[in-house]
Structure 1
Amino acid sequence: MNDGRQEEKFIEEQLAILAREGNEEAEEYLIRKYKEVVKTKAHLYFIAGADRDDIVQEGMIGIFKAIKGFDPSRQASFRTFAELCINRQIITAIKQATRRKHSPLNTSVSLSKPMDGEAKTVTLAETLSTGSDSDPVAQLLLKETMDILEGSGSDFFSSLEQCAWTHYLQGKTYREIAEILEKSPKSIDNAIQRTKRKMAGFLEKSR
């Protein structure tokens, strides 16, 4: 089973390389395949004044960006990179719609644009790396990023980081997590901060 996943990963990476070099058949194959991923994600987001087709269109732009920007020398597989590009494109569109409508939308925000639209504010990735966790949007994106990276089959996070982060998203305090995992509160704090920095760094590198 694992061999099958590795083979699929290799084939996708080769197709992505061919597509990036201008092979239309490879590009069309990846677009067809990931359109289903986009349709699934479209149900998770809402853009005021837009229908699902608009969201799907944004997700498809994300696929094009993934094909053009994929670098096989990086740690992420093409699937991991493509899903992050799709998420980011949809989220950016939602953030732009928020500013236009001047009304709150559901939990969505740009990963690489200032969180309140002002030039002097920090980006979400910077916010994550510095430990600001009051924003439920940030927590949602961190959870989704963790799920994507875990699903890629890489050892991106240690077992302690994964366990601590799972409890953290459930609203537990560092002390409560420490008692559950039989670790010191300081080690839990360190694990959670490492997790945030890793995810923020990965998101910045995949821009």
Structure 2
Amino acid sequence: MTQPIDPLRLEKAQSGDEAALAILIARFMPTIRSLAKRAESPGLDFDDAVQEGYIGLFHAVKTYDPAKGTAFATYATTCIRNSIVTAMRAAGRKKHAPLNSSVPLRESATVPGPEELAILKEQYREAVRGINTKLSGFEKEALLLSLRGQSYSEIAKALSRTPKAVDNALVRVRQKLKPHT
């Protein structure tokens, strides 16, 4: 950013002038795109990172105070960078792993044929056999409550156990049933 930002234009953008804001967006677009390109990662594609850059720029426009002694270009670049980095960190959290590694659903789902239905039924029977023969009573109850969407603490309370005991039981369930999935 070689040229300083016109203070009058910035004031207009802060007061809601869309034309002034559009000029600021155009001025910072190369910075936003550059930072967004470096931030691409699983769960955060380029377009999403650019959107986060816009959010950072809007934040900078709304919160900039010239009395603090910082140039607007410096402040805006920092806000843009922080917004994109925050989005990148959020996208990289383990809680988003299923979304980041998932395969998109097809637009039109096909109805399984008779052969596929027979295979699915056999897999279902095998899974039920595994549940009935390999799991203890506590493990079965914990699995059932977990499948109903209850948290570990809710399951623990319902079964008069500790949340750690529930966690251990569900880990054992996954280990025992893994060959059947």
Say which structure is richer in helix.
2
TM-score of the two chains, using structure 2 as the length reference? 0.48
Larger radius of gyration: 2
